[in-house]
Structure 1
Amino acid sequence: MESTVSGLDRLRLVEAPLVPEVRLHLAEDAIVWWARMEAETGGAMAAPFWATAWPGGQALARYVLDHPRTVAGRRVLDLASGSGLVAIAAGLAGAASVTANDIDPYALAAIGLNARANDVTVLVSPGDLLDGDGDPADVVLAGDVFYSRAIAERIWPFLRRAAARGALVLVGDPGREHLPGEHLTTVASYSAPEAGTSTEPQISRMSVLQLR
């Protein structure tokens, strides 16, 4: 994965705005990074969602660190992990094991890089897990997964199956339109930090929600 590593070398190691306990390799401007990498490779690349600390993930990571009993001693799955922020927070909070899942190979490389920067162990799980139920995870964490209708229609059944088999399922979201809020209970809410939310400047609050 040499090309992936060379691209990650251009990122900055910075604190996540709402979660300063965690440092991440992020792009100063993910759109510019994306355009440069496509120009260099001469082909299309998936949008680098992992190169930004998204608001729902920040809220979920903040909640886990503030309420470590949520994950302490338990097996955790961070779905669509992106940068690995939530997975790293779970590791810092004392999870027995943490698995970070994503379909983007760049995200998987970034997760490993970020886990090492924070001195935590995170197992990386590639590929699409959405036909399953997250077994054997005791806790399933999902930040910023309801950003489109198509994704929401696949994510929601997965999360319901995970909850049905007894897993604690927590979602981090800033109130996007595809969030099935009528089936969720808000357990925490945070004001959006001034820094780090330029991707969605209209966001003022982000919440952590639990499946009912």
Structure 2
Amino acid sequence: MTNSVTRLAIDIETVSPNHEYWEKPDFRDSHDFELLAVALAIQQSPGSEIQSEVLLRNGWGPESELALLSETVTRLEDAEAETYLTYNGEAFDFPHLRGRAHIAAEDAGTDGTLAERIDRVLSAGTSDDLKHDAWKAFGRYTTLEDTCAHMRVSQETPEWQEYAHGLNADDFRVDRDKGDPLLTGADVAQFGEHYLDWCDGDSADEKRCSELEELLRVYAVSDVVPLFELADSRPFM
């Protein structure tokens, strides 16, 4: 598109296949993560319609991750965003978009052109990371979910049991998180690994895979669409 988009919200979903579910990855090290999905939402001007989409990886291997990154950077280039809305994007999403582009390219034996494109397009827009204002208002380590609750901004987080994927989130959770009906970021990392396994496998159960894909898409959208209302709700009180 040729017209400038006022705001574009970004959130990445990741997996950590080299870690067990109870192990904490190093959140500063892109070797501890792989991309699963990228959620994007754009708004032409405050108050106008928000359009969202989720780009999902279609299997394991560096080629599939590079394909997701390539699709993402093309969307960002076409959008010509003035502002990038994120929650913790400056510490997580942006560094790992760049980091995974370098790592996946090295693993695939390709050049660093994609990483250079990501650097250029992210530098072209102004970052508006809502985490900074949220932490000042509500304390360090306040999550997006808690910030939305404080500001009475609706966040449509899905319930994992409402989809017929056949997985049980409690099988992957630490004890304190068992029983929560809502899908969490930690759940996404585990469900995402199953999704990528199913993408690469010969499973005839397309229904389960389709249901899991829809669950992941709904969750990813719930992390970007509220950012616009949240941004407009400042100053946080």
Q: TM-score higher than 0.5 here?
A: no
TM-score by length of 1: 0.25
Larger radius of gyration: 2
Q: Which has the higher helix share?
A: 2
Structure with higher RCO (Cα < 8 A, 6+ apart): 2
